[in-house]
Structure 1
Amino acid sequence: MPKNNMSLIERGPVPAIILVLICAICVALLALTADVTADARAYQAQWLADTNKRALFPLADDFPEETLEQAGEGIPGAETVDLAQLHPEVYMVAAVHTGGEVTGLIIGVASKGYGGKVPVMVGFDLSGSIVGIHVDASGETPGLGQKTADASFTDQYLGRLSDDSLSDIDAVTSATISSNAVTASVREASFAYDALMREGGK
């Protein structure tokens, strides 16, 4: 049989139209899939965030988050502070509710580590004492910077007050940059706590 060497132009617009339709259908299906799974992905992200918060306050009922530009507005006795302006590395402030009362604060800060930003969540009770810390060191070097998420390192912060200088924190061996990032985040979280609670009359 003779080969059909006609170009797409010679065959007319039909093949091109078919290709365009196939591409449009593929794009529509991808968009539909993203839309259908958006709620599930948002729920999963929120569930993970709440799980990390609950590790800091196991007995808490919930953790309503404050708007950073008006942080403290929903916390009794706190000062309303624009943390987005004063402490731009703070990415989250959540009140800890237990039995219908505010029993603490969780402040999230991300300082620059070796492999990028290192998100750190610091839990404070209402006396300003650090009761828990969660470090997401997944972006740091395995076996080195990632050890800043281990209790052997993070336990050094427990029980310290928000006005502690943290000058005696021992860095993880061969992971000074990552260790300093965590300490910087805890210090920044402490500054934010003081701006909200101590300057607010606590």
Structure 2
Amino acid sequence: MEKDKIDVKHVVHVALVLLIISAVAAALLGMTNAVTKSRIAKQVEQTNIEARQKVLKDADKFTEVKDIKSIAKKAAKSNAGIVNEAYKGYKNGKLIGYTVKVSPKGYGGEVELLFGFNTSGKTTGITVISNSETAGLGARCTEPSFQKQFKGLSADTTYTVVKHGSKNSDNQIEALAGATITSRAVTLGLNTSDQVYKVLSQEAK
């Protein structure tokens, strides 16, 4: 009988030890996850800051556009869902342009893009923040030879994609060879950003 009592105490002791170990492990895991999430968030924010500076080089300050979702619905209608955010860019306190971030669907998933605009309604640049496109095909949307087509374009124009080497109009974007879907996604991102820019510029007047 005494032996049974000792066994019960031992079982309770072991259970308590395991419970404490589990609680400590869970707490440590939670702390690790919190630190990891914080680091990732900081990295993402730094990437976005660098992207904004890249497409609107002269800006020394950026402020986020509030209520971008309603602005996107007004501007882009059926494509409003791909609009993520927009910022106003300033130099010495003067508004010099905007950045618009969009995530159109490419071949391998969302292609996260950032477009810059000056106050004259021309694109100042494009950068691909992230993508899951096929290496050697759609992933080439990050190459300068493709991206240079998206600089100096008018926000008043709707752009279309044509086969590589067949461009004969200023409103056409030459597709990446073997990556028409990606090229169309980037061009959709451009056209949608154009619409958002136009609403933002009208509201600034």
Q: Under a length normalisation based on structure 1, what TM-score does the superposition of the two structures give? A: 0.82
1:151 shift after superposition: 1.2
Q: Percent identity?
A: 31
Letter of the 1:85 counterpart:
K
2:199 aligns with: 195
Q: Note the residue ranges of structure 1 that are not aligned, 5 or more in a row.
A: 1-7, 72-80
Counterpart check, 1:93 vs 2:86? yes
Query: Superposed, which structure 2 residues align to 1:58-97 within 5 Å?
Result: 58-67=57-66, 69=67, 71=68, 82-86=70-74, 87-97=80-90
1:39 shift after superposition: 4.4
Q: Distance between the aligned counterparts of 1:36 and 1:149, measured in 2?
A: 31
Counterpart check, 1:57 vs 2:45? no
Q: Which of 161, 186, 190 in structure 2 is aligned with 1:186?
A: 190
1:10 shift after superposition: 9.6
Does the Cα contact within 8 Å between 2:155 and 2:198 map onto a contact in 1? yes
Distance change (3 Å), C-alpha of 1:201 and 1:59 = closer
Moved beyond 6 Å, runs of 4+: none
Does the Cα contact within 8 Å between 1:115 and 1:141 map onto a contact in 2? yes
Letter of the 2:33 counterpart:
A
Q: Distance between the aligned counterparts of 1:115 and 1:9, measured in 2?
A: 58
Q: Under a length normalisation based on structure 2, what TM-score does the superposition of the two structures give? A: 0.80
Letter of the 1:89 counterpart:
I
Q: Tell which deviates more after alignment, 29-38 or 51-60.
A: 29-38
Q: Note the residue ranges of structure 2 that are not aligned, 5 or more in a row.
A: 1-6, 75-79, 161-171
Counterpart check, 1:13 vs 2:12? yes
Distance change (3 Å), C-alpha of 1:44 and 1:177 = same
